[in-house]
Each structure stands twice: as C-alpha cells, then as structure tokens.
Structure 1
Amino acid sequence: MEQLYETYAQTVFKYLFSITQDADLAEELTQETFYQAMKTIHQFRGECKMSVWLCQIAKRAWYRELNKSKKTPSLSMETLETSLRAERSLEADVLHTEDKLALFRLLHQLDEKTREVMYLRLSGELSFAEIGDIVGQSETWARVTFYRGKQKMTKGRSEWNEN
C-alpha cells in the first residue's frame, strides 16, 4: 500500500486540487482516498488503470465532502478574486498601453463568438452569466471563451510587439 501511495498520491492530489481549488482540502481528501482504497483494494478488478480507479474514489470522497458540508462545487472566493484581478490587469494593460486601434485589431483576429464575448465583457462590463444568457450559452461557456480569448489576445499582442 505504501508503494501505491508513493506512486499515485501526486496524481490524486492534483486531480482533487483541480476540482476543489483548495490545497488543504485536496490533501485531506487524498488521505481519505487512500484510506478507502486500502479498505476496498480487493474490489479492484484491473479493468482500468490504477490511477483511474483511485481518481474515481477521490471523486466520491469529494462528493461526500460536498454533501457533508452542504456546499455546491464552485470556485473559492480567493480563486475568483485572483481571476478577476488577472482579468482587470489584462483589460487595464490592453486598454492603457495599446491604442484602441491595436485593441480592435487584436479583437478582430478572434473568431466571431469569442470576439462577441470579449466585447460584452470588456466594453459592456457584463457578468459571465449575463453574457451566457445573451449568446444562448452557459455561464461556464462564457468564462472559458473569455479566458481563451484573453490568451489569444495576449499571444497576439506579444507577436504584434515583436513585429
């Protein structure tokens, strides 16, 4: 069991951290995962990779934690604040260091849906829920599209500055 822990603990922790966004909780759930695995190792049939089996146990441990604490899966306030600061930083950087013409050139290079989300977020200052509602998609879709658009714009800006 010790070798199993040494081999897969990092993988399980990373998986749990990605869904909890809380290192302490992910560590606690990692310990719970291996405890449960030790109790049920005789049920492992080898039909999937050991890491997949452990992550399934980890997911169930996360769901039990949610039910126990009556939480819903969501980002922590710290993660949201960090994300908003990063957005504002990019927005401020783009709006203040580049002229509007360059900004519109970067926006124009994006696909139509991404460009629309970027316009609504940057100029309309709408929430992701409002953007999702406007374009007929989910809030999560709007967040992901905006994030990917920021990445493309940041990459485009650095390429623009190199030329």
Structure 2
Amino acid sequence: MADFQDKFEKICIRYFNDVFLFLKKLSKDESIAEEITSETFFKAMRSIDTFRGDTDIRVWLCQIAKNCYFSHLKKQQGLVDINDIEFTDNIDTIEEQIINRSDAMRIHLLLHNLAEPYKEVFMLRVFGELSFKQIARIFQKTDNWACVTYHRARNKILEQMEANNER
C-alpha cells in the first residue's frame, strides 16, 4: 500500500500543475480550477487501476479533469448570473468562441462527438495549450501531422457549427 501511495504521490507532484493550468484555461476561474484539480486527482487515485497506459498519463488526467469540469457545469446550469455572460457581435475563430461562455458548451458538445484523434489533438492544443511538437510526441507522429490533424479537427467543428447555424 505504501508503494502505491508513493507512486501516486509522484504522479500528483509531476502533473498537478499541468492539470491545474488546463482547468484554469478551461474554466477561466482559478478557484474553480483548484477545486476541480483536487477532485480530478481524487478520482484518478480511485480509478488508477483502470488506466491502461495506451495514452500519456497527462492526457488521461486531463480527460478526467474535463469530465469533472463538465459535471461542475451541469450542477451550475441555471445558476449563471446574466452579468457574467459576455456578448460579442463578431466572433471569427473557434478559439475566441471558447472564451465566450455562452458558446463554450455548444463547442464542447460538438467536440465530444468528434472522432479520434481529432478530438484529443484539438483538446491538447486548445485546452492543454500544448505545442504541435508536444502533441506529436504524445502520438509518436511528426509535428506536421499534429498541425494538420488540429486544423482538420477545427474545420470539422466549424462545419458542424455552420450546419447547425450555430456560428
């Protein structure tokens, strides 16, 4: 048991800041990011035996973090203060739409239905703020592959938004 705790403690120390920064970028709120980061590592500790090792552990942790954040949003749905919503007239890029809280959930739903590896590459780039070089390393591919895959994912999301008249 002590060996497991030592190993998990090392995982926490190594990846805590990465998960926190991912959640801070996603939520735009430091206190929410801190709360959900703690919840993420608690859930990861309870389910570490389900980690198969076929992806980078940071990706696995960020996936847990994303799911925790979405659960948090569902709990908060209907408790949104109208003054917290930012309205803009002309949003050109998907990255700018993610910043807008009123559009974020629709984009997350579209992203959720996106096929792999597009979904994971997009999330790592936008939410994880990883470089194409880092993404390429995770997938054991070239930097160019990561860049092309990201742009294809972005285009697929934009096409879905246009088809749904959500843009």
TM-score (norm: length of structure 2): 0.46
RCO greater where, 1 or 2, for CA within 8 Å and sep 6 or more? 2
**Bigger CA radius of gyration:** 1
TM-score (norm: length of structure 1): 0.47
